[in-house]
A and B are shown apart, each in its own frame.
Chain A
Amino acid sequence: MQGGSTGVGYGLKYQARCISDVKADTDHTSFLTGTLSLKEENEVHLIRLSSGGTELICEGLFSHPNEIWDLASCPFDQRIFSTVFSSGESYGAAIWQIPELYGQLNSPQLERIASLDAHSSKIKCVLWWPTGRHDKLVSIDEQNLFLWSIDTSKKTAQVQSQQSAGMLHYLSGGAWDAHDVNAVALTCESSVQLWDLRTMKTTNSIQHAHVRNVDYDTKKKYMLVTAEDESGIHIWDLRKPKFPVSELPGHSHWTWTVKCNPEYEGLILSAGTDSAVNLWLVPPTSDDSALDSLVESPTRRVEPLLHSYTDYEDSVYDLAWSSREPWIFASLSYDGRVVVESIKPHLPKK
């Protein structure tokens, strides 16, 4: 009944951790995903949802030299994406271009546009500015934040600035504010740091431990959603970083990732290591009543969990909303299974 039966499935050959929506593809709903295999040859899959929405078609299958830990599609060019990869002790990040060989699935080579090879410690992720064309790129490793200036036509990438987050802060990931081209949120062991890319300095921080994933609300400015190891999901107003605006129970085990819907306000998707994907609806709180709702929320709040998709065999590590059809999302469990679901049946009637 739940999850799998309603969703459209697609199997990768190996285990996988990352999936990304191809935002620049305005004609189709497509996703990019990369495998994570230590011993076999890794692949990048370009998957497209058929026009009827009943089938997932492999549009392209490209071999990738190393196991892929992070993958992000370029928001303004559908053929460009970035990966973070490692093999044993080595690690790296690169920007790739899909060759124009449509319809041929003979594993053509990806064209490497640029290598982000200035890192000296383990790279965590690469961020594109989510809203539109921007010639900058952010990459994060355990210690540092890099701002790259890229030129896709000239196929160059240069470090524009670099800043260390401090020895004791092990960075684990981050998100780029869709409303502000200069604001980036980075997660580290004990807090969420808010950076300004112009000065390359921390402007503010949310003192909250064990944050695993972070996402900006694309509809509402200053709103940040975090997922924690143990205590679920918190929603923050960046202007009042002392206490969360609202709190969701999260998952039975770690809440691994959290994604805000690009279109519907307050709609949040989370995935966790309890092999489940939860769909939440946070009732919108006006800024004035934010405190009141905090006081009274335990008694009068309606159940925020809209639906729980539980038909996964293994931990779900990544999610992606489709920006073209915002009621559709793709989820990827560790066993390499991509499931595309529509949330339409679970949206509250209005």
Chain B
Amino acid sequence: MGVEDGEPLDEKAKRMRDLLSSFYSPDLPSASLRPNASFSRFATLDTINATSFDADHYMNLLVQKANLEELLKKHVEMASEIKNLDTDLQTLVYENYNKFISATDAIKRMKNNINGMEAKMEQLTEKMMSVQSRSDGVNTSLLAKREHVEKLHCTRNLLRKVQFIYDLPTRLEKCIKSEAYADAVKFYTGAMPIFKAYGNSSFQDCKRASEEAVGIIVKNLQGKVFSDSESIKARAEAVMLLNQLNFPVETLKLKLFEKLEQFLLDLHLEYKDLKDASADVNELPNQGNVNVSASAAAHEASIHEFAEALRAYRVIFLHSEPQLFKLAQDLVMKEFEAAHQQIKKQLCSADLLAILRVIWTDVLLLDKVLPGAALPDFTMQAALIAVKDYITCALSHLLLDISDAFSKILGMQKEGTEEVHPLQTAFEASKKAVIQGSMDVLLDFHHLLNENSELLLKLRGFTMDWVQEGFQNFFRKVHNYFLLLCGKSNSASQDRNLIEGVPGDKVPAGLVLVVAQLCHFIENSAIPRITEEIASSFSGGGVRGFEYGPAFVPAEICCTFRADGEMFLHLYIKMRTQRIAVILKKRFTTPNWVKFEAIGAEAKQILPQGLHHKHHRTDSNGSTTSSRGSTLRDSRMSRSNTQKARSQLLEAHLAKLFKQKMEIFTKTENTQESVITTILKLSLKSLQELVRFQTFNRSGFQQIQLDIQFLKSTLKDIAEDEAAVDFLLDEVIEATTERCLDPVPLEPPILDRLVNAKLTKTSQ
């Protein structure tokens, strides 16, 4: 903002400006004093408003910097600004003067108004004094009378109380009559302190009377509490009143709970009836229905009653929840106990489901009444155990069934039943026991899963796991049982009861064979089927939170049973060969086998004897063949082509080996031929070993030679591996030659004739 430079600022204008600035901004001069020097030195055109404004300096600066035109313009600007400022100044002065005048007027008015105030104040004080004195006078005159009135009032109150106490018994009686027990209790408790203080002296009679009345009241109240017909509210009130009368409510409570427990016991009995009834459903679907529905209704009613009672007690007795919870849990527990008993009796899953459903509805009902008891959780736990028990139970029953099948076999063999194919029947039966049994059990478990009730839905995951685990354990047990059955294990004392029928270590060889076949069957058919079933229904796919991995490991079981199968097969072979070896040994140890003198007549004795022995031997082979043939045929039919290929491979392998060295002890396949061949080979080897122990004379040697020749033609039909058998037969001959003092072989024609004679004789 520029300032007119044409007009030099005179002394007056400067003074005026200072005055104004000191009036409107009093701190300005002191504030602007300090930067004075700087302003003088660095003066610009903007410093016109500063206090240290140097007009001459400003002028010089302006003249130096601006041209004429600008100077003229500045001049015009400044002139108009100065004019404006002058007008403003004038207005300000006028306004201030006006204010001053009005202030003077006000002061003048005030001076006039204050006069006469003092007198009025004095008057007021005087009047106040007189009022006070008068009121004091009234007070003193009324004091005596008022005291009297107060005393009278006290007396009246006392009298009224006494009257009340004297009236109490009648009043209580009246209350009893009208059943207004609440009032009565109120009155009595009101009078209680007085009775306590003066009850032994002045109010003795009164007290006795009212106590009698209260006694009646208590009795009535108690009756009310115990009566089920009264409304819950009334009973609750009664309990409250009794409590106010210092009556021992706890004992009451105990009594009531005892009653409730008794009720629970009765209920339990009814429940059992229901179980029986529901068990009957399966056997007698037509007759049982009515019975069941009736008993079910009864059960429902009693549960309702129980729930009502619980609700009532919960309202009636404060702080009784823990006990009630306990009662409710007892109920659930009892129901599950009953369920467990049923489970032990091998009930089917439908029954279990029915039971669980009933329990669950009961629990839901109770839960409505007692929400705090966490009954569903409790039930869940119990149900978990029940389902688990059920699964284990079912599987152990299955095991029992299988062992039953085996005991039947044993029994059959003991009695010597003349059945055509006892082993086949046994095998079929046990096979059926395994596969059908496990399928049934699985189906049963399936029902468990298909059930839509809330309880079981929650249990689903666990159930699946348990089913898997249960089967795993089941097969382990079957494995142990087989071991035990075949006398391979001495340890499983806890399962001893399973094989009570088995006589010590005398296990029939046929049984071992059946077991071996069964192992094979389990490995090849049962396990895949069960695995499939489990995978389709019981895999834990939909279940969250189970990180244990699958409990059912079919590979492991397969492995176990494959090993078992092989082991039992070997055991069977061992038993058979042992038997044959024993027969052979007996033959050799007969004293007249080798005798130097015995040539003539005895040779003839030995001949039929020896033949008979051989015959017997082939017989024993033959008998095993027939029984085994039927047993094995099925498994052979069902066996896949791969196994056939495998046995063919084995044959080829054998043939190759044969060129270098006779391989006698090959791995046994699970086929009829293989088993028989193995037995045969082992028997012939035993024969060879036994021959090596003996010393023969000529007739003995010839006898052996004849026997071998006979065996050659007979065994051809039986054995699979002809080459090996021939080799072994030759070995026997060779061994006999070595151990003979006089080895003169029979002429081949004689040999043939003798063999043919024998053959025709046996065929007849």
Residues of A within 8 A of B (CB): 15, 38-39, 86, 88-89, 170, 210, 229-231, 243, 252-254, 273-274, 291, 294-295, 298, 315, 334
Contact = CB atoms under 8 A, between A and B. Distances in A.
Given A38-B738, A88-B741, A252-B665, A230 B578 contact: yes
B263 interface: no
Nearest to A87: B695
Given A88-B596, A253-B682, A253-B686, A230 B665 contact: no
B685 interface: yes
Given A15-B738, A253-B682, A273-B685, A38 B695 contact: yes
Nearest to A14: B738
Nearest to B571: A231
B157 interface: no
Interface string B477-499: 00000000000011100000000
Contact of B574 (A88, A230, A274, A294): A230
Nearest to B574: A230
Interface in B490-516: 490-491
A171 to B, nearest CB: 13
B739 interface: yes
Contacts of B594: 89
B577 A230 contact: yes
A170 B693 CA distance: 15
A51 B686 CA distance: 40
A33 to B, nearest CB: 17
A89 B741 CA distance: 11
A18 to B, nearest CB: 14
Interface in B646-665: 664-665
Nearest to A253: B685
A338 to B, nearest CB: 18
Contact of A253 (B489, B491, B575, B665): B665
Contacts of B689: 253-254, 273, 315
A334 to B, nearest CB: 7
Closest CB pairs A-B (n = 4): A252-B665, A295-B491, A230-B574, A243-B490
B664 A274 contact: yes
11 contacts: A86-B695, A89-B595, A230-B574, A230-B575, A230-B577, A252-B664, A254-B686, A273-B689, A274-B664, A294-B490, A334-B692
B493 to A, nearest CB: 10
A168 to B, nearest CB: 13
B581 interface: yes
Contacts of B596: 88-89
Nearest to A142: B589
Given A230-B577, A253-B682, A294-B491, 7 more contacts: A38-B741, A170-B589, A253-B665, A253-B689, A291-B491, A298-B489, A315-B689
A229 B578 CA distance: 8
A229 to B, nearest CB: 6
A333 B643 CA distance: 37
A231 B491 contact: no
Nearest to B697: A88
Nearest to B479: A298
Interface in B571-614: 574-575, 577-578, 581, 589, 594-596
> For chain A, what secondary structure do more than half of its interface residues adopt (helix, strand, loop), or is it mixed?
loop
Contacts of B595: 89
Contacts of A252: 664-665
Interface string B676-689: 00000010011001
Contacts of B695: 38, 86, 88-89
B682 to A, nearest CB: 6
A231 B574 contact: yes
Contacts of B740: 38
A127 B444 CA distance: 67
Nearest to B667: A252
Interface string B731-752: 0000000111100000000000
Interface in B684-705: 685-686, 689, 692, 695
Q: Which of A39, A243, A253 has the most CB of B within 10 A?
A: A253
A212 to B, nearest CB: 10
B581 A229 contact: yes
A189 B744 CA distance: 34
Contacts of A254: 686, 689
A202 B491 CA distance: 28
Nearest to A232: B574
Nearest to A315: B689
Contacts of A229: 578, 581
B263 to A, nearest CB: 51
Contacts of B577: 230
A38 B575 CA distance: 33
A139 B222 CA distance: 102
A252 B739 CA distance: 25
B665 A274 contact: yes
B578 A210 contact: yes
A3 B740 CA distance: 32
B87 to A, nearest CB: 121
A230 B741 CA distance: 31
B62 to A, nearest CB: 115
A315 B664 CA distance: 12
Contacts of A230: 574-575, 577-578, 581
B561 to A, nearest CB: 14
Interface string B262-297: 000000000000000000000000000000000000
Contacts of A274: 664-665
Q: Which of B489, B575, B578, B589 has the most CB of A within 10 A?
A: B578
A86 B596 CA distance: 15
Given A230-B578, A231-B574, A253-B682, A39 B741 contact: yes
A294 B483 CA distance: 13
A252 B667 CA distance: 10
A295 B491 CA distance: 6
A152 B544 CA distance: 85
Contacts of A15: 738
Contacts of A243: 490
Interface in B402-422: none
Nearest to B689: A273
Contacts of B581: 229-230
Given A230-B578, A294-B490, A38 B685 contact: no
Nearest to A299: B560
Contacts of B739: 38
Nearest to B582: A210
B286 to A, nearest CB: 53
Contacts of B589: 170
Interface string B545-582: 00000000000000000000000000000110110010
A243 B492 CA distance: 13
B442 to A, nearest CB: 27
Nearest to A243: B490
